[in-house]
Amino acid sequence: MKLAYWMYAGPAHIGTLRIASSFKNVHAIMHAPLGDDYFNVMRSMLERERDFTPVTASIVDRNVLARGSQEKVVDNIVRKDSEEHPDLIVLTPTCTSSILQEDLENFVQRASLDAKGDVMLADVNHYRVNELQAADRTLQQIVQFYIEKARKQGTLPEGKTEKPSVNIIGLTTLGFHNIHDNRELRTLMANLGIEVNMVMPDGASVHQIKDMGRAWFNLVPYREVGPATAEYLNTELGMPCVDIAPMGIVDTARCIRAIQAVLNQQGAEVDYEAFIDEQTRFVSQAAWFSRSIDCQNLTGKKAVVFGDNTHAAAITRVLAREMGIHVVLAGTYCQYDADWFKDQVSEYCDEVLISDDNGAIGDRIAQLEPAAIFGTQMERHVGKRLDIPCGVIAAPIHIQNFPVGYRPFMGYEGANQIVDLVYNSFTLGMEDHLLEIFGGHDTKDVITKTMSADADLGWSHDGLAELQKIPGFVRGKVKRNTEKFARDQGIDQITAEVLYAAKEAVGA
Amino acid sequence: MTLAQTQPQALEFDCDTGNYHTFCPISCVAWLYQKIEDSFFLVIGTKTCGYFLQNAMGVMIFAEPRYAMAELEEADISAQLNDYEELKRLCEGIKRDRNPSVIVWIGTCTTEIIKMDLEGLAPKLEQEIGIPIVVARANGLDYAFTQGEDTVLAAMAHRCPTADQVTSAEEKAERNSIQKLLSFGRKKEDVAAEESEYHDHPPLVLFGSVPDPIVTQITLELKKQGIRVDGWLPAKRYTELPVIDEGYYVAGINPFLSRTATTLMRRRKCKLIGAPFPIGPDGTRAWVEKICSVFGIEPQGLEEREAKIWESVEDYLEIIRGKSVYFMGDNLLEISLARFLTRCGMTVQEIGIPYMDKRYQAAELALLEKTCNEMGAPLPKITEKPDNYNQLQRIQELCPDLVITGMAHANPLEARGISTKWSVEFTFAQIHGFTNARDILELVTRPLRRNDSLKDLGWEKLVKEEAKV
Ligand code: SF4
């Protein structure tokens, strides 16, 4: 038993449901007690879905406990099949079914006899895998199911598309900014002259799966969902895969170069260098930002990064490599894939933290006192408590992380978005700079308050004149700091000299 | 009326497949830990339960909640680990960090299935660590949403002391906190004088968790009739649980508390006052009247009080009068709300409800029937254990002006041009008593007022195909 307040990755069935509900016309039936269909609420609320979430439950209640599900699961599958004619019904086990040990596979087989659509059992065990692993596995399972089916029926198409083409694998419902990444990646592919054969699974139909092999390669932008499918397609159909997340300017270029290599191996003869150069230097603002004075002011500032593998690794590299920010700690909650993470970030940060214990992460942040945090909603709340700004870069997320406006994290527009996020998260540049000069970090104090508590301190004429030169929004702070300094030093008349001595003392 | 006389209409009850959406009953920790200030709720379950709580409670859990998961791992399931030792380790931690006056264990589906003997383990551990441990099995196998509170309160009912157990004066004062609350800051003589204003009636304890302002309002409402509330289950603190002796009278404030009622009657030998629930001015009046009648008291000024409330909400009534409403059913407040809305002039097309205790809700059902007849409204069908799919078909046919439903269906229905109100809000809003009638109507009319502000824009339906459910 483990005492837990917060969890980063959800239970396995959430992963399966995310995959099933990403497809068009796929229905998931959970084998679960009443109340476990909370997924529908999340999808309907967070994604602000207009359609009914294609997830229902075959309810496990007292009767089921006593006598087994018997016909119930089969009936529910057949009923859903006739009501909505889904192409595929995915029977989804939950923590409850994991311990009931009913022969769900058998139910699926029996239901397939009567159902017009396909039926399958998601191969996920609540106690062995989490949401992300389950999503990866379920997607692979569905793809495998339809590739094998097509092969048996002899409908697996031969050959590749005429022009270079790609399958983008791993975009799902409830994924962090997946909707926007989807659009950005399509734009990027279009700019590279690559046809998008299909995006899988978001918005795809299972009938398309058999045509996956027509693409020249697979692009797997996220580390968490998609690799298993890409690997399967590689073994089965010999499809190469590019699995570099195009996040940040450098990694986007790396990703494009990897695509170039994969296409050229197949005789495409493409050269993307000019495109990369043009985008990097003139279209995207991110490279220019890194040269600008704003970013210079961020040099060496301390940041902590925490999230899923994809985002935490990419953001760590963007901060360290592209903005000169000092990443004191980079961490992930994807414990099952920790080696990959360490490998990705080790040279870009002081310390790597692999944990899914929110308390441990909060404590470490408190000890490190970074100037900004880039994490999940949980780190945002740690930040609130510690008065450290936080930019949210990964799930778990709230409704405000499902913006209506266009906010990709990937590609060149994604790089722009990351710049804004990072820059806004640190205390605003020039303001911070000035505060730095006059020795204070606290911008929350009331600035209009000009009278100090102690009346025995006097300001000389030149002292006041000097004070007036300081920009209004930090003047109050400087005044208080100087007065404090004067009091400590036993000075009762503050001159310009004292003001600057105070500044030096704080700066020292 | 002629028709009604020849063929007395009766409410029609139906029971469907039980394929409907609702919250898991463990959600009750969200409001109960806030209500019982010195408690700590430990939910003994899986990641599924934790994920639900974390997401359902939204921002609340950032505020250092006094609740946590005891997350069961594979070794717990296969009994490689000793349940007792594990729970002891966790509860000792909780005692060290939070020092609560009570730890409530919430049993879940998993503890049911693996038959973890929480009721057996609790007394032993209670002895050992010196903190009361109350066990409530609020799981999704047996209960829906608000019934979670019922299981907790039923368990708490066992912990209410009897008069002989409360001997010290200090404790007596503590257990009588409601009176303290009302006489706060006043002179002893005044309080004593006031005591005499109460009728001489047997002790009355109310049950149901409501926010503190409602406790005050309801207590004062009864005080106007000279009725003294001797205690409330639950109280603000576990250490203030009311004295309950044999022969005490009890009355429920919420429609989902049938187990608590049964426990109080059977185990604590209390007398249950079966009344409609004090939701809406009509319900509140009927509730107060019933209590008065049980104690042989002539109610004072209730009729005027009710009329005044109706008058004050006329602006809202104008909006909903003549409109139809459909309850999909997920929180057991449905009968009372339907009765209130019928009185407001709405037509109720269907009342979905997770579970219908016809005995505990008897008076409420009778009032619903009476209200329908008096308002000339057709008697709605009551669907127990509804089937959401079938309901959505019916909703499409009926096109109700308002559907009261869970969040899973709200946005999709809105996209199809059907106005909805999210049902869960009724459980968190203050809806009891005369004072809060306006709050209920504020909720009910909100989608209709929104419609009014956006009318003429021409984009009610925002899906392409005809509504597919
Ligand atoms: S239905 Fe059961 S398993 Fe699901 S959250 Fe509720 S108690 Fe946990």
Three-state SS across A384-406? Answer: HHHCCCEEECCCCCCHHHCCCCC
Q: Is the CB of B252 under 6 A from ligand 1?
A: no
| Pocket of ligand 1 contains residue B111 by CB under 6 Å | no
Q: What's the pLDDT score for residue A70?
A: 79
Rg of the Cα trace of chain B? Answer: 23
Stretch 90-119 of chain A: residues touching chain B, C-beta under 8 Å: 94-96, 99-100
State the ipTM, two decimals.
Answer: 0.90
Residues of chain B contacting residue A41, judged by C-beta atoms under 8 Å apart: 21, 55-56, 406-408
Residue A96 Cβ < 6 Å to ligand 1: yes
Note the pLDDT of residue B467: 45
Contact check, Cβ <8 Å, B51/A61: no
Query: Which atom of ligand 1 is closest in space to residue B138's alpha carbon?
Result: 7
CB contact set of A378 (below 8 Å; sequence gap of 6+): A6, A8, A358, A361, A396
Size of interface A-B (CB pairs under 8 A): 161
Whether residue B468 has pLDDT greater than 80:
no
- Dihedral sign of CA atoms B137, B143, B149, B155 in order: negative
Closest-CA residue of A relative to B73 is A1
Which pLDDT value is given to residue B2? Answer: 42
With a pLDDT cut of 90, the percent of chain B lying above it is 77
Measured CA to CA, the distance from residue A47 to residue A24 in angstroms comes to: 16
Task: Give Cα B222 to chain centroid, integer Å.
Answer: 20
Q: Tell me how far apart the alpha carbons of residues B276 and B252 are, in angstroms, rounded to a whole number.
A: 9
Residue B59 scores a pLDDT above 60:
no
Task: Give yes or no for residue B60 having a pLDDT over 90.
Answer: no
> Is the Cβ–Cβ distance between B298 and B292 less than 8 Å?
yes
Please tell me if the CB atom of residue B43 comes closer than 6 angstroms to any atom of ligand 1: no
CB atoms within 10 A of CB A408: 25
Q: Return the ligand 1 atom nearest residue B24 CA.
A: 6
For residue B464, the model assigns a pLDDT of 75
pLDDT at A449: 39
Locus of tokens 């009931």: A100
Are B467 and B394 in contact, with CB atoms under 8 Å apart? Answer: no
Rounded distance between C-alpha atoms, residue A294 and residue A286, angstroms: 12
Q: Model confidence at B4, in pLDDT bands (50, 70, 90)?
A: very low
Most informative mutation of B46, B72, B146 for ligand 1 (most atoms within 8 A of CB): B46
B139 lines ligand 1 (CB under 6 A): yes
**Which pLDDT does position B151 carry in this prediction?**
98
Contact A37/A99 with Cβ under 8 angstroms? no
Q: From ligand 1's centre to the CA of B27, what distance in Å?
A: 10
Cβ(A309)–Cβ(A223) below 8 Å: yes
B-contacting residues in A 382-421 (Cβ below 8 Å):
384, 396, 398
- Select the residue of B20, B48, B139 nearest A94 (Cβ to Cβ): B48
Does the beta carbon of A261 lie under 8 angstroms from any beta carbon of chain B?
A: no
Does ligand 1 lie within 6 Å of residue A36's CB atom?
A: yes
Distance CA A24, CA A33 (A): 26
Of A268, A141, A144, the residue nearest A217 (C-alpha): A268
B107 lines ligand 1 (CB under 6 A): no
Q: How far apart are CA A42 and CA B128, in angstroms?
A: 41
Which atom of ligand 1 is the closest one to the Cα of B106? 7
Flag if B70 and A48 touch (Cβ within 8 Å).
no
Task: Give the number of other Cβ atoms within 10 Å of residue A256's Cβ.
Answer: 23
Yes or no, beta carbons of A3 and B68 under 8 Å apart: yes
Residue B278: cis peptide before it, omega within 30 degrees of 0: no
Selection from A423, A445, A503 nearest residue A470 by Cα: A503
The pLDDT score that the predictor gives to residue A486 is: 86
> How remote is the CA of residue A100 from the centroid of ligand 1, in Å?
14
The DSSP-derived string for B148-165 is HHHHHHHHHHTTSPPTTT
**Amino acid in position A85:** H
B148 lines ligand 1 (CB under 6 A): no
Q: In Å, how far are B181, B250, B278 from B215, measured between CA atoms? A: 10, 15, 12
Half-sphere exposure of B296 (CA within 13 A, CB side): 4
Q: Do B142 and A99 touch (CB under 8 A)?
A: no
- Predicted pLDDT of residue B33: 92
- By the 8 A CB rule, do B237 and B37 touch? yes
Confirm if B70 and B88 have CB atoms less than 8 A apart. Answer: no
* Higher-scoring residue by pLDDT: A239, B186: A239
Three-state secondary-structure class, residue B451: helix
The Cα A288–Cα A295 span in angstroms is 9
Question: Which chain B residue has the Cα nearest residue A125?
Answer: B74
* Chain A CB contacts of B415 below 8 Å: 50-51
Q: For B87, which residue in chain A has the nearest alpha carbon?
A: A1
Catalogue the long-range contacts made by A483-491 (C-beta closer than 8 Å, 24 or more residues apart): A483/A452, A483/A454, A483/A457, A486/A457, A487/A454, A487/A457
Read off the tokens for A72: 């119930």
Question: Does the beta carbon of B140 lie inside 6 Å of ligand 1?
Answer: yes
Binary contact (B389, A34; C-beta < 8 A): no
The neighbouring-strand residues paired with B402 are B325
Nearest residue, CB atoms, B18 vs list A59, A84, A381: A59
Distance CA(B132)–CA(B116), nearest Å, equals: 19
> Which residues of chain B does A35 touch, with a Cβ-Cβ cutoff of 8 Å?
22-26, 52, 140, 144-145
Determine contact, residues B337/B326, Cβ cutoff 8 Å: no
Environment class of residue B46 by beta-carbon count within 10 Å: exposed (0-12), middle (13-18) or buried (19+)?
Answer: buried
Identified catalytic residue from A87, A123, A211, A294 = A294
Token reading at B124 = 């032993």
Please answer yes or no on whether A10 and B51 come within 8 Å at the CB atom. Answer: yes
Give long-range contacts, CB 8 A cutoff, 24+ apart: B168-174.
Answer: B174/B239, B174/B240
Q: Looking at residue B112, what is its pLDDT? A: 94
Q: Mark whether A294 is an active-site residue.
A: yes
**CA angle (A475, A480, A484) in 5-degree steps:** 150
Residue B115, min C-alpha distance to chain A (Å): 11
**Does B93 contact A7 at a Cβ distance shorter than 8 Å?**
no
The reply to whether A1 touches chain B by the CB within 8 Å rule is yes
CB contact under 8 A, B412 and A41: no
Q: How far is the CA of B381 from the centre of ligand 1 (A)?
A: 30
The angle at the Cα of A362, spanning B65 to A174, to the nearest 5 degrees, equals 75
* Tokens encoding B181: 């609350």
Preceding peptide of A227 cis, ω within 30°: no
Distance separating alpha carbons of residues A18 and A23, to the nearest angstrom = 9
Q: Is A33 an 8 Å CB contact of chain B?
A: yes
Tens-level pLDDT at each residue, chain A (508 residues) = 999 888 899 999 999 999 999 999 999 999 999 989 899 999 998 888 899 999 999 999 998 888 888 789 999 999 999 999 999 999 999 999 989 989 999 999 999 999 999 999 999 999 999 999 999 999 999 999 999 999 999 999 989 999 999 999 999 999 999 999 999 999 999 999 999 999 999 999 999 999 999 999 999 999 999 999 999 999 999 999 999 999 999 999 999 999 999 999 999 999 999 999 999 998 889 999 888 887 888 888 999 999 999 999 999 999 999 999 999 999 999 999 999 999 999 999 999 999 999 889 999 999 998 989 999 999 998 888 888 889 999 988 888 888 999 999 999 999 999 999 998 888 654 465 566 666 654 444 443 334 444 456 788 888 888 887 777 667 777 888 888 888 888 888 888 888 888 877 765 4
Binding site membership of B27 for ligand 1 (Cβ less than 6 Å)? no
Q: Do A35 and B463 touch (CB under 8 A)?
A: no
The finding on whether B52 has its CB within 6 A of some atom of ligand 1 is: yes
Distance B329 CA to ligand 1 centre (A): 19
Q: CB distance from A500 to chain B under 8 Å?
A: no
Give, using CA atoms, the residue closest to atom 1 of ligand 1: B140
Q: How far is the first Cα of chain A from the last one, in angstroms, to the nearest whole number? A: 50
pTM for this prediction: 0.89
Q: Which atom of ligand 1 is nearest to the CA of B49?
A: 5
* Contact: A1, B81; criterion CB under 8 Å: yes
Determine whether the interchain pair A95/B46 forms a contact, defined as Cβ–Cβ distance below 8 Å. yes
Note the pLDDT of residue A86. 97
Q: Which chain A positions have a beta carbon within 8 Å of B26's beta carbon?
A: 35
Cα A380 from Cα A374, distance rounded (Å): 8
